[in-house]
């Protein structure tokens, strides 16, 4: 008996699929899809409206990497256009970085979510999904060839460094290097939006501004 594939954007009942985790199988990781829309390296595409590729200057010296698209990005198909993107835009402006000069992408290109009532709530991608999507991130790095990458949050940092144990706090103090590439780590904009007090929010926001300013000047001087 054959089962019909669920329509894109419909919830898929993974519990009925044997020997397949929600992140996909080992064989899926061997696939080398030609396009992001055709990507089946993990199973997140099933519940997503759009795959969300990176956007921005293809010759940018500065690349920003987030975690994964959110609800708005999933609907529109562009990175950082929702509330986290609005915060990111204000931080970039304060740091003196024009968004059109940078390349913005995510570690994972499909929105991972769970339904709560009528809302699609963000779920943090698992290591297998990050690993599956490193295929696309590595391609973007090879094509754009930035001098500096800003990792926005721990998932982005681990994806860029290919190190699942990398600690955000440690790298916020000490940028990493991969050959010539410098990796500056800072908070994810959603962390700033969710901060428990206005003081904590302001402090995290100021750290983001400093990190972006620093990354921008490093990219200009290299």
Of residues 24, 56, 70, 125, which one binds ligand URA by CB under 6 A? 70
- The maximal CA–CA distance of the chain, rounded, in angstroms, is 62
Query: Which DSSP category does 125 fall into?
Result: P
CB of 66 to ligand URA, least distance (A): 3
In this chain, which stretch among 35-43, 77-85, 113-121, 198-206 interacts with ligand URA, using CB under 6 A? 77-85
For residue 7, give the DSSP letter: P
Distance of CA 3 to the CA centre of its chain: 32
- Is 24 a binding residue for ligand URA by CB under 6 A? The answer is no
Residue-wise DSSP of 64-85: EEES---HHHHHHTSSS-SHHH
Binding mask 103-122 for ligand URA (x = CB under 6 A): ---x----------------
| Nearest distance, CB of residue 79 and ligand URA, angstroms | 4
Kindly state the number of chain residues that form the binding site for ligand URA, as judged by CB under 6 A.
Answer: 13
**Contacting residue, 44, 48, 84, 157, with ligand URA by CB under 6 A:** 84
C-alpha to C-alpha distance for 125 and 23, rounded to whole angstroms? 9
List, in sequence order, the alpha helices (H) in 96-197. Answer: 127-144, 154-161, 168-173, 189-194
Q: Is 196 exposed, middle or buried (0-12, 13-18, 19+ CB in 10 A)?
A: exposed
> Judged by CB under 6 A, does residue 125 bind ligand URA?
no
Query: Considering only 33-41, 81-89, 124-132, 198-206, which stretch makes contact with ligand URA by CB under 6 A?
Result: 81-89
Is residue 133 within 8 Å of residue 109, measured between CB atoms? Answer: yes
Of the pair 59, 194, the CB lying nearest ligand URA is at: 194
Decide: is 80 part of the binding site for ligand URA (CB under 6 A): yes
Residues contributing to the site for ligand URA (CB under 6 A): 66-70, 73, 79-80, 82, 84-85, 106, 190
């Amino acid at each position: 008996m054959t089962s019909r594939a669920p329509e894109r954007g419909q919830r898929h009942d993974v519990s009925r699929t044997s020997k397949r985790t929600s992140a996909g199988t080992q064989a899926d990781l061997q696939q080398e899809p030609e396009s992001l829309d055709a990507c089946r390296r993990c199973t997140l595409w099933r519940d997503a409206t759009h795959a969300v590729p990176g956007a921005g200057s293809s010759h940018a010296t500065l690349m920003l990497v987030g975690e994964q698209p959110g609800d708005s990005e999933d609907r529109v198909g562009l990175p950082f256009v929702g509330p986290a993107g609005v915060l990111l835009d204000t931080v970039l402006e304060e740091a003196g970085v024009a968004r059109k000069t940078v390349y913005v992408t995510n570690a994972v290109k499909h929105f991972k979510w769970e339904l709560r009532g009528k809302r699609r709530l963000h779920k943090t991608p698992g290591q297998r999904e990050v690993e599956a999507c490193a295929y696309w991130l590595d391609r973007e790095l090879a094509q754009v060839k930035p001098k500096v990458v800003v990792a926005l949050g721990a998932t982005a940092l681990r994806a860029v460094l290919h190190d699942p144990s990398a600690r955000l706090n440690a790298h916020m103090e000490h940028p990493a290097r991969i050959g010539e590439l410098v990796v500056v780590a800072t908070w994810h904009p959603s962390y700033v939006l969710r901060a428990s007090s206005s003081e904590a929010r302001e402090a995290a926001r100021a750290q983001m501004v400093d990190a972006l300013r620093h990354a921008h000047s490093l990219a200009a001087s290299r």
